[in-house]
Structure 1
Amino acid sequence: MPVLDPISHALAAVVAGAHSGLTALGADPSAGTTWLLCIATVVAVVRLALLPLVVRGVRQAHAAARARPHLRKITERYRDRKDAESLRKMMAERRLVAAEHGVSRLGCLPLLLQLPIWLALYHLVADVAAGTPVGAMDAGLAASLGGATVLGVSLAGRGYLGAGGTHLAVVAGLAAVTAVVGYVTQRYLVATNVVTADLPEAVVSAQQLMPGVAAVGILGAGGVVPVALLAYWLINALWTLAQSAVVWRWFPTPGSPAALRQAA
């Protein structure tokens, strides 16, 4: 994706820099563990860079939760008034309440800003694992990563079958652990930190299904993506688990099951 090239090249520089640093410290430049540490480094750099957006997202969730009861009262007060003037007044009152509690009209913009980075990182790992140079990850480094192995399994290898029992065990293990970590994060940390009282039943049902759907998706993707990308997904999922646990424990959304649990 040419539009993502500047981001991909910046991330490639991080991976190449991590590889150079680890090699300078005595790590084997072609070892699978060295490349796994490089992948972990780029995950850490990206997640730390995105931390301000995460903090903003948590603050916005709290602001929206504080404003929700007041917005509900306004909606109830204007429920049977459908004329243009009443609708104008209702929207003006809602904007006033939102401003009073610090609810941003930008909504999910912080999440949208993260998507190009995740897409660029996905393509970077997938392309380099396939031997395609990207920015600072030149042909030599791409070939090194593509030829690296972990437990005898190539980081460039794909699919569950066709490469022996060890390959199957490693790929299935990475996919299964990633799926479980993602399911636990979404089902027990993220979902319980969301206020669903005012949401339509269909939306609540969809939210309850998403952790399982995402887990099945990871298991399916495990059969087609490179092992290096599975390793990236697992490392990223573990970071998300830890980050979500911190928010769930110390910064729960007011009115959510997580907040009620902490107050009990």
Structure 2
Amino acid sequence: MPALLSPVTNAVAAVLAATHDAAGALGLTPGSAGAWLLAVLLLVVAVRTVLLPVTIHGVRSSHARAHAAPQLRELRQRYAGSRDLEQLTAMRAEQKAIHAEHRVSGWSLAPALLQLPLFYALYRVVSDLTAGHSVGALDAGLVASASAASVAGLHLTSHLGPTLGSSLPAGLVMVAVALGAALLSLLAQRWFVLPTTNVADLPEGMATVQRLMPWLGAVGVLAAAAFVPAGLIVYWLFNNAWTFAQQGLIWRLAPTPGSPAAARREARALEGAAS
């Protein structure tokens, strides 16, 4: 698997090296903590910009599924309890026709799967930096530079346990960054993702899990922060800030039909028309 994904890892390393050069071109001292923090921020911007088509596909897919939901619900009710092979074949044919009518994608999991190699590459690059290994365009000089840069004694390659044991201020900075990343994840899910999710057609168990997802995500960030390098947590902080802003725009401008956010948008439009 590492060898298979090495092109992705090298691409991420090249982007990070390029964003560090860009930070220097913007006036920050090359190798400084500010330059590396800006490099990580610009890496987030580059990665999330590349992933925008995936995000747009996801929004369109959720809208298509929402438009198809009433017909699919009626179809399931009509064939409820049926075990006849001929009827089940007819039901699948009708279901396929409804999906085609509303352009429901059969690749709903593809966007998430496409991001997995990228997440692995990000972890691999930061892990190699932590170990002092060069990777792709991040040569020995850049690796040493990233390892030496620090804020209040906190390095991009630091881990929480040893950092708290050796320097309380640096450990507290790392805890604050992890809490910020977890909070942004929680608020984005609670304020923007849940209200744009229609759970009416989900089984109660799945709906409950959906409601718990914001908390599970935040706890997951905090749990992972105990084991991953500080550079990856900084990436999560910037990445979750992007997600927060992006989901806020989707919540306001393109909520899923039938969701609470869509009802709120319709009510707001009616109030505007009446005033």
The normalised TM-score by structure 1 is 0.96
Aligned equivalents of 2:224 and 2:105: distance in 1? Answer: 36
Partner SS state of residue 113, structure 2: helix
**Gap runs ≥5 in structure 2:** 268-275
Which deviates more from structure 2 when the two are superposed, residues 50-59 or residues 199-208? 199-208
Name the counterpart of 1:71. Answer: 72
User: Structure 1: which 4+ aligned runs deviate by more than 3 Å?
Assistant: none
Q: Tell me whether 1:223 sits opposite 2:197 in the alignment.
A: no
Structure 1 residue identity aligned to 2:73:
R
SS in 2 for 1:170: helix
Q: Is residue 200 of structure 1 aligned with residue 203 of structure 2?
A: yes
Q: 1:250 aligns with which of 239, 253, 257?
A: 253
Residue type of the alignment partner of 1:213: L
Please, which runs of 5 or more residues in structure 1 have no aligned partner? Answer: none
**Aligned residue in 1 for 2:174:** 171
- Are residues 1:260 and 2:263 paired? yes
The 1:24–1:188 alpha-carbon spacing in structure 2 relative to 1, beyond 3 Å, is closer
Residue 240 of structure 2 aligns with which residue?
237
Q: CA deviation at 1:219?
A: 1.6
For residue 210 of structure 1, what is the aligned residue in structure 2? 213
**Which residue of the partner structure matches residue 130 of structure 1?**
131
SS of equivalent to 1:188: helix
Q: 2:273 aligns to what? A: none
- Measured in 1, the distance between the counterparts of 2:252 and 2:130 equals 37
Quick check: 1:181 aligned with 2:184?
yes
Question: Which range is displaced more, 90-99 or 108-117?
Answer: 108-117
Between Structure 1 and Structure 2, how many residues are aligned?
264
Is the 8 Å Cα contact of residues 129 and 226 (structure 1) preserved in structure 2?
Answer: yes
Hey, what's the Cα distance between the residues in 1 that align with 2:79 and 2:17? Answer: 59
CA displacement at 1:95 relative to structure 2: 0.6
The percentage of aligned residue pairs carrying the same residue is: 44
Counterpart in the other structure of 1:142? 143
| CA deviation vs aligned residue, 1:18-72 (integer Å, no higher than 9, x gap) | 2223224432112111001111111111100010111011001000000000011
Q: Which amino acid aligns with 1:257?
A: P
SS of the counterpart of 1:252?
A: coil
Q: Which secondary structure state, in structure 1, belongs to the residue aligned with residue 80 of structure 2?
A: coil
Which amino acid letter does the alignment assign opposite residue 185 of structure 2? G
Counterpart-to-counterpart distance in 1, 2:25 and 2:244: 32
TM-score by length of structure 2 reads: 0.92
Alpha-carbon distance between aligned partners in 2 of 1:189 and 1:48, rounded to the nearest angstrom = 20
Conserved? CA contact 1:129–1:145, under 8 Å:
no
Q: CA deviation at 1:222?
A: 2.0
Residues 151 and 170, structure 2, Cα contact 8 Å, conserved in 1: no
- What displacement does 1:100 show? 0.4
